[in-house]
């Protein structure tokens, strides 16, 4: 988040990443309101621009070209993104419920969750059909169908719903399938007597376009059932189809009607002229999920786009004690309709016209809209001091997570200067993952770990920080016991402190309880930025697994990909893909206790964290008096990390890691990633070579992306790699 000298005092919550909210985020990044903490919640890390959906179906666009990257946009806006589905709004309490996360509080909120085109009342549709909205599941199902057609399946598809959206889809499908097989059988089904019942002016042109595309039109008929082989009609006829799409109108998400808020008969939130939900002072709604009671309009993205500046101004007004103003939507707008190939029809004010030039116009308008979110303006950096002390530690922003650790050379030198342990109840000295102590004849592992903020979602950060700290306990073969938590929050009001601490403790507590440990206390404070840490104990029921037992010939197993440091560094700079970041954070929230159990017989083990894979492998080599050879091609890498490393993205501590654990052989970005600092990284184990294949298989069976990445050599103490 773009931290302000003004303490945070109000929570603004954007529920959904629809067009209006996306534009609000962009405008907020250019002119934030000091003291307001902005949060956006969406089930996905990207939000679709559905105006380009027919072009995607026809093959004119790649999927990423019509997706707004909410991760990158939230970073630009100084907002936190919570990837999750809101299932409930409690306007009286000022909170929403997020599936899997519990309650998130707010002072002011806005809803822009769009619509869907599912057909739950049509038998078989949920099992065998796919709604055109939301885009994600539809795009995946369409690509899967295209794959089946390429393998020989019949190019037969049906679209239920003969409005403009259904017509565009049908012609786009015909164009794409003809490009694969040379033929297509597309059927457009409409219950009314005519297609495009709300567009009489351009209906004749649309009918001619469908005929030219080879789209069969069936009107005045009800669908009885969707089956695995097509669509059964109420008159007894069947339409053969391997792909059935639903585009019969815009439907409100069902959970909105269960909020107790005022909705229309068909479930859309009723809003007034200033976009506030009727009867609510601090709750707004915009986009297709909202019904403008003062100026009803059809569901179209153009109204959400025009509403965005008014919504932004009114949100700021309520947050800061100002006055709201009204949104006046235009009465008509230019409708551009794709015809499958690169041609389009246009209609406005009762006039219709068409041709390839209109496709180019539509394409230019769509790309210009999307460019707002891919080419965001560079904000001016604060000026540096005119005079400063000698010395240079670089000007790049400090990374979060384990990328912010003190350099390994500095840490090892300080530890080497410590006096030898003289207490008989402390069984280990500096150098391993954690200390081993004895209390009343019982051996315990004692460890501590702390992470600088790497995401504005404190719940996700707390869960990952807890699992990161548990890595040391698991690596030594101990069972987690108790935890102390240490939290630093940015300056904020008591209300926001309470909300933040509730999220942190809920997620950290859940992760620790699942591992068998409980939080027994801790410490909290406020500071310049967020950080979360844990001190943990674990019980040893057998001899600890240390870094000192590796033998020549042992296989090296890694339970998790590398590259988190590069991804988090790129995300901080607004360079990473939102999908890649969401995928990374999802893996980092997976516990590794079951992996430690599978690797309980390892001769040496550690968890890969801030010093990178090479640094932690070197710790095993030094303690065991052996060398190691790494097969670069076998080391798993997080999606997106290799491309970013090839582009020169590096974490803050990367150079120090490389100097502390040099690697011989190999070249390029893959070798560079051996020094990438890992947050909540995988377990690295030296195991009997004869057991390695079976162990990797077991690890993969329980969900870990494990791999055998090399072997231990007789010496000298060094790491080499082969490409």
Token digits of residue 240 = 């053969």
CA distance 73 to 446: 40
Cβ atoms within 10 Å, residue 104: 23
Can you state the angle between helices 70-77 and 578-588, rounded to 10 degrees? Answer: 90
Exposure string of 690-722, with b = 16+ CB inside 10 Å and e = fewer, is ebbeebbebbeeeebbbbbbbbbbeeeebbebe
- C-alpha torsion 424→428→430→435, nearest 10: -100
| Cα distances (angstroms) measured from residue 283 to each of 106, 176, 207, 277, 290 | 10, 43, 43, 6, 12
Helix boundaries (H) for 298-455: 301-320, 356-374, 408-416
- 482 with 537: CB under 8 angstroms? yes
Helix boundaries (H) for 376-488: 408-416, 458-475
- 1 with 456: CB under 8 angstroms? yes
CB-facing half-sphere around the CA of 132: CA atoms within 13 A: 31
Cβ atoms within 10 Å, residue 375: 8
| Cα distances (angstroms) measured from residue 175 to each of 56, 61, 153, 211, 213 | 11, 13, 17, 12, 7
| Cα distances (angstroms) measured from residue 478 to each of 453, 472, 596 | 28, 9, 9
CA distance 334 to 52: 16
CA distance 28 to 1: 12
- List 210, 402, 621, 721, catalytic entry: 402
- In the block, residue with structure tokens 């019969």: 248
Contacts of 489 (CB under 8 A, 6+ apart): 497, 500, 501, 524, 525, 526, 527, 530
| Cα distances (angstroms) measured from residue 337 to each of 18, 345, 354, 439, 503 | 21, 5, 9, 75, 46
Based on C-alpha coordinates, what's the Rg of the chain?
Answer: 29
Nearest Cα to Cα of residue 563 among 640, 463, 489, 460: 640
Active site residue 402: yes
Respond yes or no on whether the N-terminal peptide bond of residue 469 is cis (omega within 30° of 0).
no
Active site members: 402
């Amino acid at each position: 988040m773009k931290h302000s000298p003004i303490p945070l005092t109000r929570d603004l919550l954007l529920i959904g990443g629809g067009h209006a909210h996306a534009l609000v985020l962009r405008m907020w990044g250019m002119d934030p309101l000091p003291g307001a903490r902005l949060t956006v919640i969406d089930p996905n890390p990207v939000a679709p621009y559905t105006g380009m959906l027919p072009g995607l179906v026809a093959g004119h666009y790649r999927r990423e070209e019509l997706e707004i990257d909410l991760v990158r946009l939230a970073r630009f806006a100084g907002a936190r993104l919570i990837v999750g589905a809101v299932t409930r709004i409690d306007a009286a309490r000022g909170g929403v419920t997020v599936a899997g996360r519990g309650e998130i509080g707010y002072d002011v909120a806005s809803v822009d969750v769009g619509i869907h085109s599912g057909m739950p009342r049509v038998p078989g549709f949920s099992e065998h059909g796919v709604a055109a909205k939301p885009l994600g599941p539809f795009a995946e199902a369409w690509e899967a169908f295209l794959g089946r057609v390429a393998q020989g399946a019949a190019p037969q598809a049906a679209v239920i719903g003969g409005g403009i959206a259904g017509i565009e889809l049908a012609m786009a499908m015909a164009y794409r399938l003809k490009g694969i097989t040379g033929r297509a059988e597309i059927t457009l089904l409409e219950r009314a007597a005519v297609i495009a019942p709300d567009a009489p002016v351009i209906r004749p042109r649309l009918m001619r376009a469908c005929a030219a595309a080879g789209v069969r039109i069936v009107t005045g008929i009800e669908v009885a059932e969707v089956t695995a082989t097509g669509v059964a009609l109420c008159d007894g006829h069947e339409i053969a189809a391997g792909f059935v799409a639903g585009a019969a109108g815009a439907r409100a998400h069902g959970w909105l009607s269960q909020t107790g808020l005022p909705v229309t008969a068909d479930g859309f939130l009723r809003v007034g002229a200033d976009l506030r939900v009727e009867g609510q002072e601090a709750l707004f709604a915009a986009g297709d999920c909202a019904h403008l009671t003062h100026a009803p309009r059809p569901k179209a993205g153009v109204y959400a786009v025009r509403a965005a500046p008014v919504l932004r101004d009114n949100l700021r007004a309520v947050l800061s004690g100002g006055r709201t103003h009204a949104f006046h939507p235009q009465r008509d707008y230019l409708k551009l309709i794709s015809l499958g190939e690169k041609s389009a029809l246009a209609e406005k004010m009762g006039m219709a016209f068409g041709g390839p030039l209109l496709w180019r116009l539509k394409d230019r308008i769509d790309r210009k809209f999307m460019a707002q979110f891919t080419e965001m303006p560079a904000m001016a950096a604060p000026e540096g001091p005119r005079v400063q002390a000698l010395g240079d530690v670089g000007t790049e922003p400090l990374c979060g997570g384990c990328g912010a650790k003190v350099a390994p050379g500095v840490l090892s030198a300080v530890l080497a200067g410590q006096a030898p342990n003289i207490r008989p109840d402390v069984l280990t000295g500096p150098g391993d993952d954690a200390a081993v102590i004895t209390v009343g004849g019982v051996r315990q592992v004692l460890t501590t770990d702390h992470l600088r903020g790497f995401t504005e979602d404190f719940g996700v950060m707390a869960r990952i920080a807890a699992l990161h700290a548990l890595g040391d306990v698991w690596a030594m073969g101990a069972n987690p016991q108790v935890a102390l938590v240490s939290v630093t929050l940015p300056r904020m009001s008591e209300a926001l402190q309470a909300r933040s601490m509730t999220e942190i403790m809920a997620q950290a507590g859940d992760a620790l309880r699942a591992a068998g440990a409980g939080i027994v206390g801790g410490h909290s404070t406020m500071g310049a930025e967020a950080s979360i840490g844990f001190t943990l104990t674990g019980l040893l029921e057998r001899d600890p697994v240390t870094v000192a037992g590796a033998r020549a010939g042992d296989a090296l197993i890694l339970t998790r990909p590398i590259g988190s440091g590069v991804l988090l560094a790129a995300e901080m700079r607004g360079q990473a893909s939102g999908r890649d970041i969401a995928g990374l954070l999802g893996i980092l929230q997976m516990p590794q206790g079951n992996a430690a159990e599978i690797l309980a017989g390892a001769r040496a083990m550690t968890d890969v964290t801030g010093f990178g894979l090479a640094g932690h492998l070197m710790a095993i080599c030094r303690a065991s008096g052996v060398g190691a050879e790494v097969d670069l091609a076998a080391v798993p890498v997080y999606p997106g990390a290799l491309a970013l490393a090839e582009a020169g993205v590096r974490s803050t501590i990367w150079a120090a890691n490389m100097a502390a654990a040099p690697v011989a052989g190999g070249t390029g970005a893959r070798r560079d990633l051996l020094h990438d600092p890992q947050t909540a990284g995988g377990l690295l184990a030296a195991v009997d070579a004869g057991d390695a294949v079976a162990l990797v298989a077991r690890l993969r069976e329980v969900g870990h992306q494990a791999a055998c990445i090399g072997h231990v050599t007789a010496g000298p103490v060094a790491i080499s790699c082969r490409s």
